[in-house]
Homo-oligomer: A and B are copies of this chain.
Amino acid sequence: MKAITLEQAANLLFENDNFLVLMHKSPDGDAVGSAYALCMVLRSMGKKANPLCGDEIPPMYDYFTRYVEPQDFEPQYIVSVDLASVGLLSGKAKDYADKVNLCIDHHGSNTGFAEYGYIDGKISSCAEIIKSLFDVMKIDIDKNVANAVFTGICTDTGCFKYSAVSPQTHRVAADLMEAGAESADICHLMFDSKSRAKLELERMVLETLEFSEQGQIAFICISQEAMEKSGAVQCDTDGIASIPRQIEGVKIGITMKEKEGGEFRFSVRTADDIDASEICKRFGGGGHKAAAGCSIHKEQTAAKEEMLKACKAALNGAE
């Protein structure tokens, strides 16, 4: 992959047409916000552009996704946003794994799968990079684009809480609000709004809370049974992974989620320089230093024990 500047990335977008913008599986606010914002802007320039994700786009993002109806064209230029590796593509998006022309990402761990890449691991969110790209392109964004970008930034920063938030992140948020971003409504929807089913799910999941290593590791489990009993849907599990790490004294928070087919999906959140992405890499996963994920295809107890063992090793600074 050839590393390029934002100006060069802008030129590639100006010069090409018939874009497909790829998102990772289980798309989050940053992936959806970045991809839809980019497609809206490309369309406003008279180009054709479709977002593509192998998984369903969560309906909670409908307030900006509804403005991007699918267009009919033969894809010519493939862009990926917020995609650290092609292993995170699913479904139809996989067909383009070795055809990505331009990769825009904020994961320092990006595997460099594209022809050209603009990667900055220090930026809060891919959406913040996308906004800088629009500035370089001298694009005046409208309310829907502003909402999409704002969604990406606020969801990937836990609403401006995380350490990747810079003064520039806040200034971008201010600019987005002036461009029409409905900040309070978006924040309410993303962070301060939960269904009764989600509340019930959280209550059930909290009953599984376990501590180890003198309270330094906290573990919770989201079982299929809890999902069914609570009536929760997939996106109701958002945010639950941050609960164990929030408990005082906890340095590693583990959330194990039972998927279909004997797969267990883990989210690992860490404090104090413990590298969550290193822990998850052992199991073929990845992510950021303080928040990463992976899957383990084993029986429940074995999967849990393997993860706990890896976390204890990381906690004690030993392999």
- Please list the residues of chain A having a beta carbon within 8 angstroms of any beta carbon in chain B: 158-163, 165-171, 173-175, 177-178, 183-184, 187-188, 191-196, 199, 203, 206, 209, 215, 242, 245-248
Contacts and interface: CB of A to CB of B under 8 A. Distances in A.
6 A-B pairs with the lowest CB-CB distances in the bound complex, closest first: A167-B174, A161-B187, A163-B184, A170-B174, A170-B170, A170-B173
Given A166-B177, A170-B171, A199 B206 contact: yes
A238 to B, nearest CB: 14
A158 B192 contact: yes
A177 B173 CA distance: 15
B248 A194 contact: yes
Contacts of A174: 167-171, 174
A62 to B, nearest CB: 15
Contacts of A195: 247-248
Contacts of A191: 161
A174 B177 CA distance: 15
A184 B203 contact: no
Contacts of A175: 167
Q: Is the interface of A mostly helix, strand, loop or mixed?
A: helix
Contacts of A171: 170-171, 174
Contact of A160 (B159, B194, B203): B159
Nearest to A182: B163
B177 A167 contact: yes
A161 B192 contact: yes
Contacts of A215: 196
Nearest to A164: B184
Contacts of A166: 177
A190 to B, nearest CB: 9
B159 A161 contact: yes
A195 B167 CA distance: 30
A298 B28 CA distance: 48
